[in-house]
Amino acid sequence: MDPLTHALASYTLKRAAFPRAPRNVTIAMLLAGTIADLDSLSAYFGPSAFLTFARTYLHSLLAALLLALLLAVFFQFPKRPIETQIPFSIIFVPAFSAALLHLLMDLCQSTGVELLWPLSTRRFSLDLLAHLDLWILGILLAGILLPLLSGLVTEEIGAKSKGPKGRVGASFALATLVLYSGARAVLHSGALTVLESRTYHGEPPRRTAAFAESTSPFRWHGIVETESALHEVDVEVGPGASFDPETAITSYKPEPSQALDAALNTPIARRFLQAARFPKASVEKTPQGFHIIVHTFPYTRDASSGPRVEVLIDTDPTGKLLSEELAWEPGSKGAWW
């Protein structure tokens, strides 16, 4: 999710679950709920740093725990008489809750997060939500702003509000988010069923994925891998929806070769393939041998947000490695900046 959505979600959680917590707790929750996205700044240090740090260490359960502990220690550190200090748990529990909410929201996207680092570098992703989901943004804003407007009206007529301000609206917003995500999960399952039930140029699917669109939960961006190709196709789900696999944009895999095998076995390629959901290689003959590019499919229409990394490898005609590097996919870095 984008940082604004994470900040609004953390603030909504605070008003719903910890409405009487002091200002320090609010600040701690906002920091805990957004600071993991600092790993996106690794893009400023090049594609290698971005591949290493983005959605990895800071997006783990261990990092969430350590961050909550650090914030609790910082805000609980004696700056006033001992008897007036905020108890450690009063800061730690809300901060840890906000950090976990951040991980849960990013887990529902397609980019994936390394939840179990350092025990495992496997990336987990549920593919339910878009990077910037306008529906979630609207729900959170409504849960925060509508109670404020209601409170102004209540004060204007001289009535007294019952309970902490904004708690009902925030609780309703969180409940709506749960229902919305559940509906997304059902629609996502339907999109996968549609993708898996067809053939593509006469070949059955080997792997499929359906990525969320920002504006509509009924429209999904499908990726299908068959034996010889990768296919990119839009999927509509819901009443009256139809699907034509012939509308898919097809990208054929390169023929097996010694040069391609050597390129994919390089350390830099294996590192890239660990993070890539649907890697796509292309092989070009050069005077020196072969120029091989490995990127994440789809590259005609990216299903996630942010810069994208690709691997550039040159070999001689026998497959001997001449050079290797990580680079930005053309156009992706400029769009992110």
- For 224-248, the DSSP string reads EE-SSEEEEEEEE-STT----GGG-
pLDDT band at 239 (very low <50, low <70, confident <90, very high): confident
**Is 111's pLDDT higher than 80?**
yes
Q: Which pLDDT value is given to residue 33?
A: 97
Q: Which pLDDT value is given to residue 157?
A: 46
Q: What is the pLDDT of residues 49-76, one digit of tens each?
A: 999 999 999 999 999 999 999 999 998 7
- Three-state secondary-structure class, residue 157: coil
> ∠ CA 323-324-327 to the nearest 5 degrees?
135
Q: Which pLDDT value is given to residue 236?
A: 93
**Is 158's pLDDT higher than 50?**
no
Distance of CA 146 to the CA centre of its chain: 28
Q: Which pLDDT value is given to residue 84?
A: 54
Q: Which pLDDT value is given to residue 330?
A: 83
User: Per-residue pLDDT averaged across 99-108, rounded?
Assistant: 97
Q: Which pLDDT value is given to residue 197?
A: 93
Query: Exposed, middle or buried, 267 (CB in 10 Å: 0-12/13-18/19+)?
Result: exposed
Q: What is the mean pLDDT of the chain?
A: 88
**Is 162's pLDDT higher than 70?**
no
Q: Are 325 and 268 in contact (CB under 8 A)?
A: yes
Kindly write down the DSSP assignment for every residue of 51-119, as one continuous string.
HHHTTSGGGSHHHHHHHHHHHHHHHHS-SS-GGGSPPHHHHHHHHHHHHHHHHHHHHTSSS-B-TTTTT
Q: Hey, what amino acid is at 202?
A: G
**Is 117's pLDDT higher than 60?**
yes
Q: What is the pLDDT of residues 180-223, one digit of tens each?
A: 999 999 999 999 999 999 999 999 999 999 999 888 999 999 99
86-90, 114-118, 171-175: range with lowest mean pLDDT: 86-90
pTM over 0.85: yes
Of 316, 322, 266, 315, whose CA–CA distance to 292 is shortest?
Answer: 315
List, in order, residues 6 or more apart from 15 with CB less than 8 Å away.
Answer: 144, 164, 166, 167, 169, 170
**Is 154's pLDDT higher than 70?**
no
Q: Which pLDDT value is given to residue 161?
A: 54
pLDDT band at 238 (very low <50, low <70, confident <90, very high): confident
- Residue entry with tokens 């067809």: 198
Q: What is the pLDDT of residues 302-328, one digit of tens each?
A: 545 578 899 999 999 988 999 999 999
Q: Which pLDDT value is given to residue 337?
A: 43
Residue ranges of domains in the chain: 3-179, 189-251, 255-336
Distances (CA, A) of 290 to 107, 253, 256: 38, 16, 13
Q: Which pLDDT value is given to residue 207?
A: 95
**Is 300's pLDDT higher than 80?**
no
Q: Which residue has the higher pLDDT, 85 or 231?
A: 231
| Both structure tokens of 324 | 């290797």
Distances (CA, A) of 138 to 83, 144, 300: 42, 10, 29
**Is 174's pLDDT higher than 80?**
yes
Q: Which pLDDT value is given to residue 255?
A: 92
| Architecture (CATH level 2) of domain 255-336 | 2-Layer Sandwich (3.30)
Radius of gyration of the chain (CA): 24
